[in-house]
Amino acid sequence: MYADSLILMATYNGEQFIREQIDSIRSQTYTDWVLMIRDDDSTDETPLIIKEYAEMDERIVIADNIAKQGGAYFNFWTLIHNAQKMKKFKFYFFADQDDIWPAERMQWMINEAEKKSEQVPLFIYGDMEIIDKDGNCMYESLNKIMGIGRMSGFTEYYSSGFVWGCNTMINYALFSQAPAYPLDDPYISIMSHDNYYAKYALAIGNVIFINKSCIKHRRHYSNTTGNNTLALSPLLVFKKVLFGFESLAKTHAIGYRQTLQTIKALNENKQGNCELEKVKRAIETGGFPAVFIMIKQKVKRKQFPRTCGIYFVMLLKAYKKYL
């Protein structure tokens, strides 16, 4: 089937919310899309629901699952590998199984993309409303509480707190120039596709933030990001430093490993640069030399406690035993 856009959705035990999500995609004002869904051996009614929608709407296709390995990131990377075998699409979207897309979500992002050259790799992400499991608004704007729209040129390499894959779009230039992460790589279980493409686009193309709520992102303890802390209070910061520092160090280690693997892919494709080599050196070294590099690269989050956390973990090299 010919279409301009491909939506990739990974599912697992999503029967509670997936109908509402697929319905929101089918209700988009932009209709020139294909939705490819890959289920990760769900034990609930999710596969039957997907099959029902595929029979109802020819734009919805089901990807086979013959892999023995599971996990959200592996699921998405398998979809990406499948997409590379398909015809060329102008735009690629990623979808979680439990969110809700405003009717104009796709059109908003495509409008921004069409202002740029098709030849330049492009990554677009937006603000989002946070809702609970019942659809009630928890936060009207993630950008207001986390500053996700203020991505400096290098902060994303040290703090993967700006993009959520469920709220992103990439063009064909980025999709074709950034190699799909190998499915047999030992780090596949921590290599989030959203951070990979964002960091790749920062190196070779453009990153655009849309300052409007492009999705309603559902937070519940069954989804991958359900335990992530969004709003920070002084008390919460104190508790994190006092009782949760090891967890913070582990989180940074995962983000740093994602960065190192992305830089490795860029270098292998001869797309790296000297500033990325400085990022690599900072992560591999840690301590004061790394902090000096970060200061020169103007690494900064909107919230002062988050900025302090980045520098504090780097200075103490607390992440290195988990890297």
The string of pLDDT tens digits covering residues 44-64 is 999 999 999 999 999 999 998
Q: pLDDT grade, residue 250 (50/70/90)?
A: very high
DSSP secondary structure letter of residue 181: P
Q: Look at residues 207, 218, 215, 213 and name the one whose alpha carbon lies nearest to residue 150.
A: 207
pLDDT at 167 over 70: yes
Pair 193, 164: CB distance under 8 Å: no
* Distances from the Cα of 35 to the Cα of 47, 93, 97, 169, 317, angstroms: 15, 9, 12, 14, 43
177 vs 3, 34, 76, 84, 208, CA distance in Å?
21, 22, 18, 11, 18
CB atoms within 10 A of CB 123: 24
What is the pLDDT confidence band of residue 232, given thresholds at 50, 70 and 90? Answer: low
199: pLDDT confidence band, cut at 50, 70 and 90?
A: very high
Give per-residue pLDDT as tens, 210-227.
999 999 999 975 544 444
Query: Is this model's pTM higher than 0.85 or not?
Result: yes
DSSP element (H, E) containing 5: strand 5-11
- In this prediction, residue 258 carries a pLDDT of 97
Domain with CATH 3.90.550.10 in the chain: 5-218
Please state which of the ranges 43-52, 54-63, 159-168, 232-241 shows the lowest mean pLDDT: 232-241
Token pair listed for 264: 């490795």
CB 17 within 8 A of CB 97: yes
Give the integer Cα–Cα distance in Å for 26 and 204: 33
Calpha distance 298→306 (Å, rounded): 14
CA dist list (Å): 296 to 131, 302, 309: 38, 17, 17
pLDDT tens figures, 80-93: 999 999 999 999 99
Give the fold, CATH level 3, of 5-218: Spore Coat Polysaccharide Biosynthesis Protein SpsA; Chain A (3.90.550)
